[in-house]
Structure 1
Amino acid sequence: MSASPNDRPSVLFVCVHNAGRSQMAAAFLTALSDGAVEVRSAGSEPADQVNPAAVQAMAEVGIDITAERPKVLTTEAVVASDVVVTMGCGDTCPFYPGKRYEDWVLDDPAGQGVEAVRPIRDEIRRRVEQLVAELVPA
């Protein structure tokens, strides 16, 4: 039985630039939840483009994020989300009571080559798989 859009859990991934970690996490959650979770990502200081090494690392596992663009974090996005996963944005991430917050401590792939991004990608995938298991009943 598929969930209607109104009762799907929603997750917002936030990092500073919305160019690497949060983009990879959002792409994994979209792919692994098969539409059962509403997915957003944003950054407190969005970059001009998604990190090319993150794009390459995701392409290696069959996920295309070339069309994604970094987005600015809005209060509305936080309010509309059930789970907010922060990735190294510290005090710039807004906090709202009643939301489930997780802080994923991950290396920043900014300025790194794809070799350095692969282990970050794999750790993000592991955490997203765990999140899917918690949010989407089998």
Structure 2
Amino acid sequence: MAEVSAQTRIEAPAEKVWARLTDFSTYGDWNATHTSFPQGGPATLEVGATYQENMKLMGFPAEVTWAVEECEPARLLTTRGKGPMGVNLAMRYSLTPDGDATTVRVDGEFTGAAVSLMAGKLKDSATTALNESLRKLSALVA
């Protein structure tokens, strides 16, 4: 298993951060691993919604089928995905209001047989991507 996390403070209210975070039409503007949604993002962002995403992890293309596990607008979004080679992924975005700003934390988890072979590199690559994504998200929202 490889676990990654990143956190930042964005100078904007949680509702504004959430609006950008869940605007799937502009996902690629900030998400460093995203390449496309072959059939678009989820029609309705709610628990049980599914969607497919093309990503680039450690420089390699990956197709992931995601399912929304938790969704509390302006607070929490948790998704679980199935990727290539039996890799399972989980992403948890939590937003905590802090005055006129918002603390955004992202936690990711990668599991599966293939992960054990490359856990260290995957963790480094994913952590770098999460930090870059949060920097881009912050610049777009603030």
* Structure (1 or 2) with the greater strand fraction: 2
TM-score, length-normalised on structure 1?
0.31
Instruction: Judging by fraction of residues, say which structure has more helix.
Output: 1
TM-score by length of 2: 0.31
Bigger relative contact order (CA 8 A; separation at least 6): 2
